[in-house]
Chain A
């Protein structure tokens, strides 16, 4: 099989920039999951006076387009303000890489989402969320779309595992249609908590299983 990659993609694949973990990161995010075949972690350090990204690192479990996109977004985002970095698009990353195959959009867009989520994570943790809209059931559902169901490799919402979402005074209750002794139950619970807890008006997240 011929690999559909540009020279720049191959170069970043061979020598990815800014790889690794920032132990004392100011913001971090993981997108994707091993089950869906691609996963990216993004870590950022933020200079609080100027709100610029002073350092950024990524880790990748994924194919060449995933690794190369992770690498290029660290270069694109470094030194930018959070607002600028948020606006980096898949198209810009793809152009900087000399083009990415369309079929690989799914694998490479994860890095962009990872960067945006890491910025969001920073903003939520530092009280920088500008439009403080109250969390609604739909907000929670949207976030649950980023939690993977490791059994199928698709998200919880798409695989109908979210049986119920309740919201009351900052307390969120999510009911997952799986037995609590299921092998993936602890991992799913942890991922749901990680995704919902940072919401500014959420006080507690309770994950329940149907059996």
Chain B
């Protein structure tokens, strides 16, 4: 019962104006991440997606590690990595849209809500860039002399 009441209230709060606001934040986040962080792939369609959903794969790094670092910086995001799930299976959604295992393991989902602002996008992009750079520096993948997996992707 409380769930039903909550859902009704939530449906009430969804307005075209709020969707437009979220969409603008979403688009800025997607544009900046893809432009500023190398070796990234957007999961899903560029525009035809939920207004509050950002889902991007970062190659050569594993999603749980990104998620944990972001958590320490105060950002709550999610990942389709097998390591994050109880089943130890990667995201079936990423596989469903034709992604491989590496893409699932490196995927990060940012879900926006009514309390998120445009300024937060800048903060999360900056933190993501740092965290991904750091994790890539300790990863055996994506280095020039060890790129056999890269070639086969």
Query: Chain B residues in contact with chain A, CB under 8 A?
Result: 60-62, 64-65, 68, 71-72, 78, 81-84, 86, 88, 90, 100-102, 105, 137-141, 148-149, 151-152
CA distance A117 to B120 in the complex (A): 45
A207 on interface, CB distance cutoff 8 Å = no
Q: Is the CB of A37 within 8 A of B90?
A: yes
Set of chain B residues within 8 Å of A19, measured between Cβ atoms:
137-138
- For A, the interface residue count at a CB cutoff of 8 angstroms equals 41
CA distance A39 to B106 in the complex (A): 13
Given known contacts A14-B72, A187-B152, A35 and B138 CB-to-CB distance under 8 angstroms? no
Set of chain B residues within 8 Å of A67, measured between Cβ atoms:
65, 138
CA distance A21 to B145 in the complex (A): 11
Q: Is the CB of A61 within 8 A of B61?
A: yes
Residue from the list A20, A30, A41, A183 in contact with B152, Cβ < 8 A: A183
Set of chain A residues within 8 Å of B137, measured between Cβ atoms:
19
Shortest CB–CB separation between residue B88 and chain A, in angstroms?
7
Q: Is the CB of A60 within 8 A of B101?
A: no
Chain A 56-70, CB-CB to B under 8 Å as 1, else 0, gives 000111111111000
Residue from the list B71, B82, B139 in contact with A3, Cβ < 8 A: B71
Q: Is the CB of B86 within 8 A of A39?
A: no
Residue from the list A41, A107, A153 in contact with B101, Cβ < 8 A: A153
Q: Is the CB of B84 within 8 A of A63?
A: yes
Set of chain A residues within 8 Å of B100, measured between Cβ atoms:
35, 150
Can you pick out 24 interface pairs between chain A and chain B where the beta carbons lie within 8 Å of each other? A3-B71, A13-B65, A19-B138, A20-B138, A37-B90, A37-B101, A38-B62, A38-B83, A40-B140, A59-B138, A60-B138, A60-B139, A61-B61, A63-B64, A64-B65, A150-B152, A184-B152, A186-B148, A186-B151, A187-B148, A187-B149, A187-B151, A187-B152, A190-B148
Set of chain B residues within 8 Å of A30, measured between Cβ atoms:
140
